[in-house]
């Protein structure tokens, strides 16, 4: 068993069995995994209308500056090695090791360059895994609000977001209707 698998095994031991969230909002008990998932989703991730069902014009790509290798190097250097990966299992360390390979470097750079040039974020990279973790010092862990959802995103997506954010801050290339920035993350696009 590798270090990564071993780490998550210990997390499971510390947190105990996974039969959390047994109460529904009405006080009755959930009986299936699907019911638990539904209750968590309903309590922690309510539906929000972002007003993003609009058509957008494609920006003139001359607004996007040409991406350079050193920008990708910098974005990769700022990527932690041990953060939890997305569903592809690629960690920061793995991506950095792959970046050392000349063929991978050229292909990955061309992909990132095209993404930045056209302001495109590949749909497959936008998929994340939502994991719920217990909030500290909550009196009743049978309630969904005693947990906090986090999204595990793919590391290549995080690298691309860093490049977008750097360009957006320098050149204001994304319009406010297309990008909403959190403190360090692209929240929606």
- pLDDT tens digits, one per residue of 53-104: 545 454 555 556 688 999 999 999 999 998 888 989 999 999 999 999 999 9
- Mean pLDDT rounded to a whole number for the chain: 75
Mean pLDDT of 31-37: 80
Residue 17 predicted with pLDDT over 70: no
Cβ pair 93, 76 in contact under 8 A = no
Mean pLDDT of 12-29: 62
> pTM for the full model?
0.61
Residue 187: the pLDDT is 46
Give Cα separations from 115 to 16, 135, 159 (angstroms). Answer: 42, 37, 11
Q: Which is nearest to 59 in space by CA: 183, 181, 186, 172? A: 172
Residue 116: the pLDDT is 83
Distance from C-alpha of 186 to C-alpha of 45, rounded to nearest angstrom: 18
Helix axes 69-77, 92-99, angle to 10 degrees: 150
Q: How many CA atoms lie within 13 A of 24 on its CB side?
A: 10
């Amino acid at each position: 068993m590798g270090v990564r698998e071993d780490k998550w095994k210990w997390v499971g031991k510390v947190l105990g069995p996974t039969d959390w969230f047994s109460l529904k909002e009405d006080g009755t008990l959930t009986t299936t995994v699907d019911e638990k998932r539904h209750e968590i989703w309903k309590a922690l991730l309510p539906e929000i209308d972002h007003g993003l069902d609009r058509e957008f014009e494609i920006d003139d790509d001359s607004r996007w500056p040409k991406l350079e290798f050193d920008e990708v190097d910098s974005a990769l250097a700022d990527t932690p090695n041990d953060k939890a990966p997305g569903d592809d299992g690629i960690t920061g360390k793995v991506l950095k090791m792959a970046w050392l390979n000349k063929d991978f470097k050229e292909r990955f750079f061309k992909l990132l360059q095209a993404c930045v040039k056209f302001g495109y974020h590949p749909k497959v990279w936008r998929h994340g895994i939502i994991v719920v973790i217990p909030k500290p010092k909550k009196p009743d862990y049978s309630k969904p609000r005693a947990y906090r959802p986090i999204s595990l995103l793919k590391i290549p997506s995080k690298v691309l977001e860093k490049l977008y954010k750097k360009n957006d801050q320098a050149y204001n290339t994304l319009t406010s209707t297309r990008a909403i920035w959190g403190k360090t993350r692209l929240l929606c696009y």
